[in-house]
Amino acid sequence: MAAVQLTDSSVDHLRSRVWIAMMFMVLAMCLLTARLWYLQLIRSESFQEMSLNNRVRLVHLPSSRGRILDSAGRVLAENRPSFTFSVIPGELESPQEMIRICSPILGLTPETMRGLIERSSSIPRFMSFPIKKNMTLDELSLIRSHAGDLKGAVVETRPYRGYPMGETLCHVIGTVGEITAQELSKTSRMGYRTGDLLGKTGIERYYESFLKGEEGWEQIEIDAKGRQLGELGRKPPKGGHDIVLTVDASFQQYVEELFIHRAGSVVVVDPDTGQILAMVSKPGYDLNLFSPSISEREWKKLNSDPLHPLENRSVRGLYPPGSTFKVITTLAALDEHIIKPERTFTCKGYFEIAGIVYRCWNHYGHGKMNLKRAVIESCDVYFYETGLRLGGDRIARWSSLFGLGKPTGIELPQELPGLVPTMSWKQRTYGEPLKDGETVSIAIGQGYLLSTPVQLAMLTAALANGGKLLKPTIVGQIRGADGTVVVDHAPVVRWEIPVNPEYMALLRSALRDAVYDGKGTGKKCRIPGLNVRAKTGTSQVISAKQRTDEGDQIPYHERPHALFIAYVDDKPKKIAVVVIVEHGGGGGATAAPIARKVICRYYGIPDPGDGKD
């Protein structure tokens, strides 16, 4: 075989090809070296984290929500453990197999469970998403028996709210519920996650930031099947703060049991501190219906009830104050020098303005009345005359000085301000000023005038303490999980009402005689050994001309509201009480006995009216 002769040109061509190949090899080695350098030095932490995620599960540890206690330390709201079946989207390998195994155990239809699993894709891949809350022990044991076949599933312990006293203080304590998507978008930076509980009403809502606590976490090492191997790290959760109310639960329960009527409110307050001693809104509901979640049937039942049991009437119920408002008309007229105490008007049982007749509650007339007698016997005609001379704007100014027409600032959400009509308000709203007939109606607490029970309670407290309008408080202290007092609420004086002490003393005397005088309208609140000072009120729902029946035949919704304000100010322990019975008729007949019993219980003395009401 002949040897191949390489020419110089062939050698040069071969040499160039070898150099090109070597250049490619060097370049490839450089690229590989650069890649290795990038992966090992620049991205090492990132890949280490990804590696850990393949063998480490981050489990969120829910915080223990703070308790709500009464003034004696009794538990009103607490935490109870429950188990939640959740999925972790990043670890979920076979959703269909999980649905097949778990849906019959958890009592969920395959369609429902499939929908929940699909929703879990909207959260970060390694966060848990709740599928079934409040599992039974049987469900829990069956799920755990299939643990090896359920990769991506986890059973979490999540507390839910329990209310040992059921309906007691339901409107004050309030409810919690699962956070909604809208709420989550607003609070995501505060550490809330899908499935967390959030205060919805009452103290649970108002003090959510204190009650919530701080979530913890733990890192758990898992194997390829998702089974737990051990704990790698842990940050314990921090419990929420305890809220201590100013209300004694036993006293509250007594007042609630007294209120046997369909609907209304009772507010009891310490006039020196503004502390709420009892707050009743009827009808109520069992707080445990909402925990861990209320059924659709129960929700519809509560929501469709014509008496609106979910409404906190103490801070949201709007009522004309009726004749209880005459205390403001009295002080306003005296301080504005509209009348003198000895000034008399003759009550014939009616008062006429521009051809319109305004009746006194006593259709036969009270005869000749001075100011004190008018308060004692609650003569409407006297206050028609007085209100007409005062005028709407001066009545409104004094109403505002006593806290009407604006929220009191109590620590309960969605408090309503009520309404104090003025000339400008009437002009803006109806395109005309207040008429004289409307002004005289306002002077006796009727017409456009609206107030809440808590406003009337603070008005009554101001009468008892000599003219200081206090901010009401229903929370005495806020305590840390270790019992340390974080907040200790002191009395807050919103302002002092600029009323002449002489006029206040005159009214004080008249209010006592309204109870103990033979013709006083508040005689059903007499308590031997105590100086109870009180004023009755009856606020019309519709005018007498519109009624379809008379007496006991008047339909419930057409009957007037019964009101009563009372206080005791000459004892070391003072008390102010407001009672409103919706459609209860006369305040002296219906509301006064409730106030009397409340006062007797507060002072620990026998009720002189037992069996007589």
Beta carbons within 10 angstroms of residue 333's beta carbon:
26
Structure token digits, residue 9: 């040109």
* Coil, strand or helix at 203: helix
AA letter at 594: I
DSSP string, 16-70: HHHHHHHHHHHHHHHHHHHHHHIIIIISHHHHHHHHHHHHEEEEEEPPPPPPEE-
- In angstroms, the Cα distances linking 331 to 125, 438, 582 are 68, 20, 27
Is the bond leading into 283 cis (omega within 30 degrees of zero)? yes
Structure token digits, residue 384: 């028609």
Note whether 61 and 215 are within 8 A (CB).
yes
- According to the 3-state scheme, what is the secondary structure of 504-558? HHHHHHHHHHHHHCCCCCCHHHCCCCCCCEEEEEEECCCCHHHCCCCHHHCCHHH
Question: Closest Cα partner for 567 from 526, 528, 516, 533?
Answer: 533
| Active-site hit among 323, 399, 441, 451 | 323
Structure token digits, residue 403: 């806290």
* Coil, strand or helix at 284: coil
Structure token digits, residue 194: 């899908």
Question: Closest Cα partner for 383 from 326, 435, 313, 342?
Answer: 326
CA 213 to chain centre: 19
Structure token digits, residue 78: 């607490």
Helices and strands, number each (H, E), in the chain: 21, 23
Cα–Cα distance between 406 and 403 in angstroms, integer? 6
Note whether 539 and 564 are within 8 A (CB).
no
* Helix boundaries (H) for 237-370: 249-258, 296-304, 313-316, 326-335
Beta carbons within 10 angstroms of residue 407's beta carbon:
16
* Coil, strand or helix at 471: coil
213: left (phi over 0), alpha (psi -120 to 50) or beta: left
Is the bond leading into 292 cis (omega within 30 degrees of zero)? yes
Question: Closest Cα partner for 567 from 254, 264, 271?
Answer: 271
Is the bond leading into 320 cis (omega within 30 degrees of zero)? no
Pairing verdict, β 68-69 and 242-245: parallel
Cα–Cα distance between 289 and 558 in angstroms, integer? 32
The number of C-alpha atoms within 13 Å of 300 and in the hemisphere containing its C-beta is 3
Cα–Cα distance between 580 and 604 in angstroms, integer? 23
Active site residue 323: yes
Cα–Cα distance between 94 and 90 in angstroms, integer? 11
Note whether 177 and 197 are within 8 A (CB).
yes
Give catalytic residues, as residue numbers: 323
